């Protein structure tokens, strides 16, 4: 057990990463509390409009769509630690202003719209820089573990934040929740100041003129020449568009389908996050680059479970299904992220990860209003199962493409237990090559 724990949490032995993870955990608990409060506030101000909720989510992620590639270029040109400090400072100020508006009772729906858009700008800068910065905290050998633990930190906050937020909203309304979030957002600033610059891993990074010459288009061309990077990014783009909008769909499902309160909505999000945390910890033991079939298999499973969540007829069945859904949601995201990060040249890491963030988060401005409209017109359940079904078909098509491209074949083994595996392509016989020659 001790050996397993040491392996699972190995990156926490690195001081800089430990400080980074602690600051992120505190901040993210506050962020998830704020997201729950924001969604509930929008429903209160808009007379339970799922479309308004979709607009807020779209505004929150539109800056990611517009600016992430540019900010990824900055990550390859300037000090990532400084950029992270600026981004987190922006987030802190915005959260404080919003908490004042809510606590004073002057908040209006348009305030939430503006707040979501400005938060998106800070997020568009912070996310790709943070993704690229992890490798400087621990180095390449520990990178898969550090990425998985960062995901575990994120999903721990998803468990604690919504649960606390649901109880706090029920007891005190949304105002105090925004204030707590503003205070929690100062934690990463303290952590970044306390880091030791001399212990950062910056070997292999470009210097001087090479950093100044970093261009967005070069990063795009680099990815376009790499099918092993293109496939996980394409899958993430589609699943991110259709199925990763649980922040929107679960709020609508709880309030409009099952007619529950804030605490019950928090339970939905908590169940998803418990499964997600398990998925992140399951990926933490990985030391090598995951295969493409790990990415495809987890995508198919996640999409299938998402379809079942939308079709579930009872509240408690949804809660139970959200546990494995959360597991495979993060397992797929981590496998895709690790496949990209462990296959990219350090000189392109910032720009490639900005493209990753673009396909992961930047699809929300397109998908959120559509999903909100579907939820309002046909029901929140339909918006989930339809996205899951389309995601499953996309992942199946990607699997067929990969098998055809490599010549692999699927086989089902029944003993000692049922298992689906891939047979690699058979090499051509030597005499056949000689005959062709």
Confidence of residue 420 (pLDDT cuts 50, 70, 90): low
Looking at mean pLDDT, say which of 261-275, 282-296, 414-428 comes out highest.
282-296
Contact status, residue 300 vs residue 392, Cβ threshold 8 Å: yes
Does the pLDDT of residue 292 top 80, yes or no? yes
Q: Does domain 11-196+215-407 have CATH number 1.10.630.10?
A: no
b (16+ CB within 10 A) / e for 30-60:
bbbbbbbbbbbbbbeebeebbbbbbbbbbbb
Contact status, residue 330 vs residue 279, Cβ threshold 8 Å: yes
Residue located via tokens 């915005």: 94
**The pair of three-digit structure tokens given for residue 418, joined into one six-digit string:** 């049922």
Task: Give every CB contact of residue 149 below 8 A, 6+ residues apart in sequence.
Answer: 9, 11, 12, 21, 280, 284
Instruction: Say how many C-beta atoms besides its own lie within 10 A of residue 321's C-beta.
Output: 21
Q: Quick one: average pLDDT of 216-231? A: 84
What's the rounded Cα separation, in Å, for the pair 138 and 121? Answer: 27
Q: Counting every residue, how long is the chain?
A: 437
Looking at mean pLDDT, say which of 175-184, 286-295, 310-319, 387-396 comes out highest.
387-396
Q: Quick one: average pLDDT of 309-315? A: 87
What's the rounded Cα separation, in Å, for the pair 42 and 38? Answer: 6
List the alpha helices (DSSP H) in 173-226: 175-184, 187-194, 209-212, 216-224
- What pLDDT does residue 435 have? 39
Q: Quick one: average pLDDT of 86-110? A: 87
- What pLDDT does residue 362 have? 65
Confidence of residue 214 (pLDDT cuts 50, 70, 90): low
What's the rounded Cα separation, in Å, for the pair 27 and 180? Answer: 10
CA atoms within 13 A on the CB side of 288: 4
Please calculate the CA angle 377-243-71 and round it to the nearest 5 degrees: 115
Does the pLDDT of residue 208 top 70, yes or no? no
């Amino acid at each position: 057990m001790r050996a397993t724990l040491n392996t699972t949490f190995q990156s926490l032995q690195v001081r800089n990463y430990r400080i980074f993870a602690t600051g992120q955990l505190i901040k993210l608990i506050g962020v998830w509390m704020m997201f729950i409060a924001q969604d509930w506030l929008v429903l209160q101000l808009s007379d339970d409009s799922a479309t308004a909720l979709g607009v807020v989510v779209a505004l929150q992620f539109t800056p990611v769509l517009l600016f992430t590639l540019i900010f990824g270029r900055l990550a390859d040109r300037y000090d990532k630690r400084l950029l992270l400090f600026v981004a987190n400072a922006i987030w802190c100020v915005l959260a404080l202003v919003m908490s004042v508006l809510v606590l004073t009772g002057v908040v209006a729906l348009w305030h939430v719209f503006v707040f979501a858009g400005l938060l998106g700008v800070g997020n568009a800068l912070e996310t790709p820089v943070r993704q690229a910065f992890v490798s400087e905290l621990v180095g390449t050998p520990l990178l898969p573990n550090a990425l998985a633990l960062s995901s575990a930190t994120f999903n721990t906050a998803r468990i604690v934040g919504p649960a606390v937020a649901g109880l706090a909203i029920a007891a005190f309304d949304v105002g105090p929740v925004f204030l707590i979030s503003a205070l929690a957002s100062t934690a990463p600033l303290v952590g970044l100041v306390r880091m030791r610059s001399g212990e950062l891993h910056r070997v292999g990074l470009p210097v001087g003129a090479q950093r100044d010459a970093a261009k967005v288009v070069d990063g795009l061309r680099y990815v376009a020449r790499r099918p092993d990077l293109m496939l996980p990014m394409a899958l993430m783009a589609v699943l991110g568009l259709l199925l990763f909008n649980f922040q929107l769909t679960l709020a609508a499902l709880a309030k409009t389908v099952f007619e529950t309160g804030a605490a019950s909505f928090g339970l939905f999000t908590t169940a998803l996050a418990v499964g997600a945390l398990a998925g992140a910890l399951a990926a933490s033991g990985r030391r090598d680059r995951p295969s493409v079939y790990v990415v495809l298999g987890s995508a198919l499973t996640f999409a299938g479970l998402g379809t079942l969540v939308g079709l579930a007829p009872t509240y408690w069945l949804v809660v139970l299904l959200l546990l494995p859904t959360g597991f495979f949601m993060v397992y797929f995201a981590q496998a895709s992220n690790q496949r990209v990060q462990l296959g990219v040249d350090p000189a392109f890491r910032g720009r490639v990860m900005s493209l990753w963030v673009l396909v992961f988060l930047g699809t929300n401005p397109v998908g959120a209003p559509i999903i909100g409209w579907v939820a309002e017109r046909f029901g929140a359940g339909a918006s989930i199962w339809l996205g899951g079904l389309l995601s499953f078909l996309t992942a199946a098509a990607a699997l067929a493409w990969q098998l055809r491209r490599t010549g692999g074949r699927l086989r089902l083994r029944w003993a000692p237990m049922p298992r689906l595996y891939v047979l690699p392509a058979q090499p051509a016989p030597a005499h056949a090559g000689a005959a062709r020659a």
